[in-house]
Amino acid sequence: MASPKPIHVTPIGLIHTPYHDHDDIPIQGGFKPEGRGWVEVFPEYQEGLKDVEGFSHLFLIYLFHRAGDVRLVATPFLETTPHGIFAIRGPMRPNHLGLSVVRLEGVKGNRLDIAEVDMLDGTPLLDIKPYVSHFDWRENVRCGWLDKHFEDGVPPHARRKDGSRPGG
Residues within window 2-21 making contact with a copy of itself, judged by CB under 8 A? 4, 6-12, 14
Q: Judged by CB under 8 A, does residue 73 bind a copy of itself?
A: yes
Using CB under 8 A, which of 18, 43, 66, 132 touches a copy of itself?
Answer: 132
Using CB under 8 A, which of 34, 95, 160, 161 touches a copy of itself?
Answer: 95
Q: What angle do CA 129, 131, 136 make, to 5 degrees?
A: 120
Q: Are 39 and 13 in contact (CB under 8 A)?
A: yes
- Return the residues of window 104-123 that contact a copy of itself according to CB under 8 A: none
Burial grade of 20 (CB within 10 A; 0-12, 13-18, 19 or more): exposed
Q: Judged by CB under 8 A, does residue 164 bind a copy of itself?
A: no
Using CB under 8 A, which of 32, 36, 61, 113 touches a copy of itself?
Answer: 61
Distant-in-sequence, close-in-space partners of 105: CB < 8 Å, separation ≥ 6: 36, 113, 114, 115
Q: Judged by CB under 8 A, does residue 63 bind a copy of itself?
A: yes
Q: Amino acid identity of 124?
A: P
Using CB under 8 A, which of 18, 66, 150, 158 touches a copy of itself?
Answer: 150
Residue 120 beta carbon to a copy of itself: minimum distance, rounded to whole angstroms: 16
Q: Judged by CB under 8 A, does residue 67 bind a copy of itself?
A: no
For residue 64, give the nearest of 56, 74, 51, 49 by alpha carbon. 74
